[in-house]
Amino acid sequence: MNIKGVFSATQEAVRHMGDGGRIIMIGSVNSDLMAIAGGSVYALTKGAVAGFTRGLARDLGPRGITVNNVQPGPVDTDLNPSDGPFADVMKGINALHRYGQSDEIAGLVSYLASAEAGYITGASLKIDGGFAA
């Protein structure tokens, strides 16, 4: 689903998107670093999102559409709570020793959607508190 959903949603959005639009993928820092065993397939899918971002940036650049990939590290969510079974390990790896918050991720997404980010495309931007540092 990490690949098929991103591909299908993006394909449909591009059909309706005017020139100068923004596509912002939500990937994962795990495309660059898998710190625990058992995550190879997840890392594979998130690596595919990063590669798709780069290719699509080239394909849509002539239309002025930017394509970027936000790569969060551990974020406090219902599926990955900051007090969950993996939390101590994840916090120990992270340079800031904490989980990120959804509003921190939203701030980067908001910036990438803004006019000020009009020259950023094909980028995978980590927002991971130093998880992959």
Kindly name the residue from 42, 99, 111, 119 that is annotated as catalytic.
Answer: 42
Please indicate whether residue 111 is annotated as part of the active site.
Answer: no
Q: Which of 26, 44, 39, 42 is nearest to 124 (CA)?
A: 26
Measure Cα distances from 62 to 22, 66, 89, 92 in Å: 13, 10, 44, 43
User: What residues are annotated to the active site?
Assistant: 42
